[in-house]
Chains A and B, each alone.
Chain A
Amino acid sequence: MILITGGAYQGKTAYAQAHVPFAITDGACCDFEEAKSSKILKNYHVLVRRAADAGMDAEAFTEKLCQENPDCIILIDEIGSGIIPMEKPERIWRETVGRCGCIIAAHADSVIRLVCGIPTAIKGALL
């Protein structure tokens, strides 16, 4: 399992695409079951929000995904570097994304962070 992270528009998708020739599943709109079998899954931070909106336990879902789809490449935006949101659902989402990211990173062989399109391996090796 590989986790690719970084802020919005830092080149995460382009980096994954340049190194791995699989179709990309979009966590912003895919079926939850589809996520569990996808090779590359992007927008995981949006999938977390959708899971919460659907009344699911996003952290439990993430654990299950890591076990059932251990070769997945997951792309997730870094979203926790701003002001703590005023609205409770936004706060909960932000915290849940952080926890889910930690779960995936713990399972991952590599964690790669992109800044301005440049990848740095913060765990394991680059693609």
Chain B
Amino acid sequence: MHSTGLNTNQIMRQVIYALILGVSAAYVFFGWGVIIQILLGAISAIVFESAFVALRGRKVIDSISDGSAVLTGILLAISIPAIAPWWIVVVGVAFAIIFGKQLYGGLGNNPFNPAMLGYAFLLISYPLQMTTWPVDFLSFNQAVEVIFQLLHFDGLSGATRLDDVKTSLSLGRELTTLQIHSSAQAWINAGFLIGGVYLLARKIISWHIPVAFLSGILIMAVLISMFDSQQHLPIQNHLMLGGTMLAAFFIATDPISASTTPKGRLIYGFLIGILVVVIRSFGGYPDGIAFAILLLNMTVPLIDYYTQPKAFGKS
């Protein structure tokens, strides 16, 4: 006897559908590059997953059909700049699937979030390509030319929004022009927020991690701004810039690498939020989400062990 609820494959598909709104917002501001990156990410995820599952002597179709590899590919593709060269996403997905997932035994056995592992790998290895974002909408042809490096397009690119804001803040510049650009990121974040609420409503994710994560960010941002409001990002930017909402609802909530107990999920989400703000404010990288999540992934067994609920009749 089994419930009529969603099965694992349907869950993965629902998560992908919930991404549509945020991705559409990204498309509106950055153009076709976004879509091309996602296609590249999804296709390379299928290729690497199939190859490795076949190497491990498992049934390829079972593994591909669960949709988890495609989801990893898409999440990574969304996280990287829309004008990054094609091989960036391919290399990142390869690393995510092979080292982040298959070497641990495939779906369900990976201690780290594969997409974030791929992202961290790319950020450390190719910092320039990973922090250069388009400043304008790119047509299909432009995007193809940039991504497949048919010609150089220096005029179209700029630094990552958060990086930009941070640099200008430390230089003491006015925020006016930058605020216009950051509205793009705010819209994208709003898109992912709505998608996240959809996942909550469908009971595909629980509220614990997103709520704890966002409160972690908020509390830490408030604390930091209390001491030094000039040198750091405004509080609302912490929430609506960078990958905050994507991470809150789609990445930190990856059940496989997250804590599994209700109390544990609150601790896990909250600490990621704190770390994200700490890395953004004091670290050398523009955004700290990937590192914060990977660091907390390591603590999951410990958190789970100490947050076991009391069994019935044992309290």
Same assembly: no
Residues of B bordering A, CB below 8 Å? none
